[in-house]
Structure 1
Amino acid sequence: MTDILPPLPLWLWFLLALLGLFVARKPVQRAFMALARFCHQSLRLAAVSVADGERRLRRRNREVLLAAGCEAAERCVERELDHVEKTVKRELARYPELHRRLSEQLTAIDRDYALSVEVPPEPGNWSKAIRAVAEIPASRDPVVCDVLEAIRNSMHKAEARALEVYRESARERHQLLRRMMPAWRSILSALSGVNRNVETVIRRAGDLDRHMDRLEEIQRGGDRASRRLAASATTRFFASLVALSIAAAAAVVHFHLIALPVAGAGGSAAHIAGFRAVEVFALVVILLEIFAGLVAMECLRITQFFPAVGALDDKPRRRMLWIAFTALLVLAAVTVSLIWTRELVPGEGGAAADMNRSAYWLYTAAQMGLGLVLPFALAAVAMPLETFITSARTVVGILSSLLLRMLSLGLRLCGTGALVAGGVLVRLYDIVIFLPLWLERRFLDWRAGKGRPPGEPEPS
């Protein structure tokens, strides 16, 4: 074939390529624009779908957030109602005794008060005698003077006796009033206790009103309640994350406190399912401590992982609580005993102990203290764990909604970019074939100028 057709020069191939591109200009540009519009519509449709999913997710997050807020507010209301009920029942149970005691004291006070009333002494018959003597005509009769003198002396004596009787009566009244003071103090103390209890109930009622207002606001589903719940969930999420990180560090320390004594006793050679038996033993002990703490928190109704445990009666629930607490004590004793037996293993503590015996015993005592405290610290991990699980749903939902919104915006931008890229490709295609386009333009202008009448201006 090459022998029949002579090779063409390169400039001729270039001209043929330009001619081919010029002839195929319209279909190629339409293909570019069609592809750009297809990408634009597809990306916009994907953006709309992602935006719709983001709206559904945001609505679902709002529903879950409001439901969690309602549940938390209801728990607060139930707790306040329980406290108010216990206070009222306790005070009502004491009311009959208080009423009886106050009645007895008030009766005694009333009796003593009646006895302490001041009664003025009766004048007796002296007034009649004095009136009769006063009617005697004034004279210098010595008999009359003697009678008046005797009357005066008798009156002085009677006055002294009446004053003494009055003083004795006042003394008795003061004694009665002094005897009333303990009763008054007892009444004031009882009334002060009632006042304190009433103030406690009033304060609880105020807290209950605030929790009810919060519950009503959450049930209305306002934006303010949603923002407040979202902020609270985010704060609780990071706080529980910090607490779980601290608990993880404590678990690592506890793991080594258990594993090192067992390994020193010669248990490092055994393996269970491909893992060292020492590590499996330490891990099982830590998991048992966490589980015992979880059961204890459920029995105390602090957490709600297992509602069936919280719904038990008080008697079996207290039994489970004591069993969990005993298990924690046993596991703590196991850890302390392992640390102690490390001293009895030859080659483990002997060399270090010989160097500085007192410092080494102090170090051992510190390890034993950690071994006693860490099981109870790990038992409390149930509280931040529940908070982390309940708040993680809200935080993950918020982050997912934000990512979907950013993805929708990115798809819209990519769709707009695809449409703009189609126009750019069309312009680039025209730039490649600019020479045929220029010739075509000149030809059309020449043809249009040839067909114009003489004197007509050239169109701009």
Structure 2
Amino acid sequence: MHRAIYALARLSHRALRFASLAFAAAEQRLVVRNQEVLLAAGKEAAERRIERELERIEATMRRELSQYPTLHRRLCEQLAALDEDYVHSAEVPPEPSNWARAIRSVSEIPAQDDSVVADVLDTINHSMRKAESRALESYRESTRERHQLLKRMMPSWRAMLKTLGRINKNVESVIRRAKALDGHIERYEEIVQESDRGLRTLTASSFNRFLASSVFLLVVSAGILVNFQLIARPVSEIVGGNILLGNFFTADIFAFVLIFLQVGIGLVVMECLGITRLFPSIDALTDSTRRSLKWSAVILLLLFAGVEASLAFSRELLFERDQLLAGVAEGITGGLGETELHWTLLLAQMGLGFTLPLVLAFSAIPLEQFISSARTVLGMFLVFTLRLLATLLRLLALVSLHSGVILNRIYDLVVFLPLWLYKLYLRRQQDQKRAGTGREGQPAGINGKVGEGLPAEQAGNV
């Protein structure tokens, strides 16, 4: 029995150990597969970001810096003209000529005794003062012209500074784009090299995107329910509210189909705009075909929004009709304030019915993020589950291996009492047999039988 219990314990240990190794191998394969999927998704996302940054840099260069040679030539011409005007405006007054010094020397001759010389010197002095006055006036006029020239230079300076500021701003924008591009390329290199840091970053990003997209999809679900409440009653009047399809009303199914058609059209619009990439076939279309498809989807979405606005408008009217037919309402006996409130509610419902389909069209963005991140999160959850199962099976295998000894001890405790009783029984049998063998040498009766010829009590004892 001990050998059987030990054999059973070893068999269960080996079976559980084999199952644990199988789960561990499946976990390793799933980890490798998750890493491949995660790296592929991260690589594709990094390539898209790099492509987008390159497109932005190209658009900036084409829009702002394509006319840079012409602008540079114009700036050079303006700078040359400004420099020339500045040089002209900075001229200094000319030095006095030698003739003026000679006249000054003659005018210094003393003329107290000669009246002719005094008249000549007086005339020379008068002429010199007139010449000096004309020269000073001419210098002031030229200075005034130079100041006017400097004043006219200010708009050119301001225009040039504004142009240079715009160029500087564009260059700084390109530099920022280049730095962002360097960061994307660095992360792309980490993904290509399959580094641990890149894997941790991608894993954290997947969890963040999964949680954010889940929250947004919950909000979208609430918006779908609100939209359903707006159009359910009018749709039941159109389709018929008492027709059942299985366990559901046909009007409810039709209302949900109408809402999901709007979501699908919004998804097509997002695909044509290049915001999402859930359908590679749409991305593979030509630009003209995608443009035509985009405008067609936008027109259909606007038509659906208009239809929902009209259904939301008729919803309140249908409720009023039901109240009047049921005799619940007292009739329209209110004043102007109730009428204004009534039309305000109608317009609010119409606006809500028109804007909700347009808002639900953007649900394609969180839907794409949820689908792309759910694969990674689900894979990690499966890895954790397999790892937990492998650990539990390994623990059970260890318990089953040591349970053989425990079961043998329990078996010994259980079988102890009957074995002890059986042993007592065997000992009593041996004692009785030994006692019978010892009396074989005593005298027998007349017929040779044991106890014969003895008193009755002794014969009975024998």
Structure 1 counterpart of 2:350: 368
232 and 135 in structure 1: CA distance in 2 versus 1, 3 angstrom threshold: closer
224 and 129 in structure 1: CA distance in 2 versus 1, 3 angstrom threshold: closer
1:258 matches 2:228: no
1:66 matches 2:39: yes
Offset from partner CA, 1:56-93 (integer Å, 9 cap, x none): 11122122112222221221111111111111122332
Structure 1 counterpart of 2:273: 300
Matches of 2:223 and 2:314 in 1, distance apart?
22
From 147, 159, 165, the counterpart of 1:192: 165
Structure 1 counterpart of 2:321: 347
Structure 1 counterpart of 2:401: 419
Structure 2 counterpart of 1:144: 117
Structure 2 counterpart of 1:4: none
User: Residue 95 of structure 1: CA displacement?
Assistant: 1.7
Q: Provide the alpha-carbon RMSD of the alignment.
A: 2.7
Matches of 2:240 and 2:179 in 1, distance apart?
61
Structure 2 counterpart of 1:379: 361
From 371, 382, 392, the counterpart of 1:410: 392
1:265–1:342 Cα contact (<8 Å) kept:
no
User: Residue 405 of structure 1: CA displacement?
Assistant: 0.7
User: Residue 230 of structure 1: CA displacement?
Assistant: 1.2
Matches of 1:199 and 1:438 in 2, distance apart?
101
User: Residue 219 of structure 1: CA displacement?
Assistant: 1.9
Letter matched to residue 138 of structure 2 = V
134 and 360 in structure 1: CA distance in 2 versus 1, 3 angstrom threshold: closer
From 206, 210, 222, the counterpart of 1:249: 222
1:297–1:382 Cα contact (<8 Å) kept:
yes
From 125, 133, 144, the counterpart of 1:171: 144
User: Residue 369 of structure 1: CA displacement?
Assistant: 2.1
Structure 2: tracts of 5 or more residues without a match: 427-462
Structure 2 counterpart of 1:159: 132
Matches of 1:386 and 1:135 in 2, distance apart?
104
Q: How does 1:40-439 map to 2 (within 5 A)?
A: 40-118=13-91, 120-121=93-94, 123-124=96-97, 126-127=99-100, 129-130=102-103, 133=106, 140-264=113-237, 267-270=240-243, 275-345=248-318, 347-348=321-322, 350=324, 354=332, 357-434=339-416, 436=419
Relative to the length of structure 1, the TM-score reads 0.83
2:230–2:315 Cα contact (<8 Å) kept:
no
Offset from partner CA, 1:272-300 (integer Å, 9 cap, x none): 67753322321221111111110111112
2:10–2:400 Cα contact (<8 Å) kept:
yes
Letter matched to residue 274 of structure 2 = R
Structure 1: tracts of 5 or more residues without a match: 1-27, 444-460
Give the count of matched residue pairs: 415
User: Residue 161 of structure 1: CA displacement?
Assistant: 0.9
User: Residue 113 of structure 1: CA displacement?
Assistant: 3.2
Matches of 2:41 and 2:390 in 1, distance apart?
28
402 and 349 in structure 1: CA distance in 2 versus 1, 3 angstrom threshold: same
Q: Secondary structure at the match of 2:278?
A: coil
- Larger deviation: 190-199 or 52-61? 52-61
Matches of 1:359 and 1:131 in 2, distance apart?
102
1:44–1:415 Cα contact (<8 Å) kept:
yes
273 and 420 in structure 1: CA distance in 2 versus 1, 3 angstrom threshold: closer
Once the two structures are aligned, what percentage of the paired residues are identical? 51
Matches of 2:165 and 2:284 in 1, distance apart?
38
- Larger deviation: 418-427 or 273-282? 273-282
Q: Secondary structure at the match of 1:93?
A: coil
Offset from partner CA, 1:30-76 (integer Å, 9 cap, x none): 11110110000110111111111111111221221122222212211
Q: Secondary structure at the match of 2:274?
A: coil
Matches of 2:101 and 2:196 in 1, distance apart?
96
1:43–1:412 Cα contact (<8 Å) kept:
yes
403 and 266 in structure 1: CA distance in 2 versus 1, 3 angstrom threshold: closer
- Larger deviation: 167-176 or 82-91? 82-91
- Larger deviation: 335-344 or 301-310? 335-344
User: Residue 331 of structure 1: CA displacement?
Assistant: 0.6
Q: Secondary structure at the match of 2:148?
A: helix
Offset from partner CA, 1:292-341 (integer Å, 9 cap, x none): 11011111211111233234444333322222221111111101111223
Structure 1 counterpart of 2:450: none
Q: Secondary structure at the match of 1:61?
A: helix
Q: Secondary structure at the match of 1:364?
A: helix
Offset from partner CA, 1:201-251 (integer Å, 9 cap, x none): 011111111111111122222222222221221121111111111111111
Matches of 2:235 and 2:281 in 1, distance apart?
38
Relative to the length of structure 2, the TM-score reads 0.82
Q: Secondary structure at the match of 1:268?
A: coil
Offset from partner CA, 1:362-398 (integer Å, 9 cap, x none): 3333322221111012111111111111111111111
Letter matched to residue 25 of structure 2 = D
Larger radius of gyration between Structure 1 and Structure 2: 2
User: Residue 163 of structure 1: CA displacement?
Assistant: 0.6
311 and 191 in structure 1: CA distance in 2 versus 1, 3 angstrom threshold: farther
Matches of 2:322 and 2:344 in 1, distance apart?
16
Matches of 1:44 and 1:142 in 2, distance apart?
144
Matches of 1:226 and 1:357 in 2, distance apart?
63
User: Residue 198 of structure 1: CA displacement?
Assistant: 0.4
Q: Secondary structure at the match of 2:400?
A: helix
Q: Secondary structure at the match of 2:65?
A: helix
